[in-house]
Structure 1
Amino acid sequence: MALEYFGEETPPGSIGFPLIGNLFDIGSKPYESLAKLSRKHGPLMTIRLGCVTSKPEMARENFQKNEEACSSRKIPDAITVLEHYDLAILWMSAAEEWRLIRKALNIYLTHPQKLESLHGLLRDKVVKQMLQFVNQASQNGEAAEIRKLAFTTALNQMSNT
């Protein structure tokens, strides 16, 4: 539910009190209070601090100016021991190279039309293989380890793509 505020539509959020806005909602532990508010209103919400109201344009500008800080990911120590971990798109910084790879993935791999054209190759074939494996294991009286089966199925999907 979006709110009307001085003729502009804003993301959902608490209305707050006149003049002080949502200052009481924030409390002494802002990170906990904001997490609680986000569970109630969603990840993008309106917060009023005093007479100032957050606006989508302000959030967009803030994210663009601080893109590196907002998109940086903490790399677990277990990953840093691997060779070339910094070349995986998951751990790359949001620099020009990352944008280029993300754009290529969106165009050639994860675009809805591309996924639809690969429907038979991606989903149907791999799911049939998985079901055949489970059926074969059942006939042989063996247990199928779901964790390994899910990993193999996902890997097969990516390999086929």
Structure 2
Amino acid sequence: MSERYEVVFSCYLRDDTPEWVMTALRWHLGMVAEFPEGLDDQDEYLYPLLVPDNYANRRVPGGDVVSLRREVQEFTSSGERYEWELFARNHWVDDSMLYLRGLLDLLAPHIAQPGYGGHFRHISDTEVAVFHFRDGTYEPIKIWGVDPR
């Protein structure tokens, strides 16, 4: 039987995030159907990871939720400043966790606000493993005692 995890992304991407990255993210979220150009290694992106699962047998209360929207972050003398708000809360089986690094690598260079970017936890655990984004990358995280970098 598979192990099950709650995976949460809660971060802002810069407004100038390249369109190919946004298309790849939309593919992961289930907003576009075709595999996006620009993702080099199709083996690392076998299937969209953040598509909400709407089946009735959920293992995490509240089910899957995803959101991607462009939001005004502040008003400046030269106009409004925007960022892309990403929120995704998904239920993953352990096999999907093998692809977490690829998703973190896709997002990290485009993070607008360093620091907390989300977390994951085994559904029976109370402690979370937090994603910390800084300087275009993320701090190492361990899945099953192995650093996925």
User: TM class, shorter-chain normalised?
Assistant: under 0.3
More strand as a share of residues: 2
Instruction: Work out which structure has the larger RCO, using CA pairs closer than 8 Å and 6 or more positions apart in sequence.
Output: 2
Q: Which has the larger radius of gyration?
A: 1
More helix as a share of residues: 1
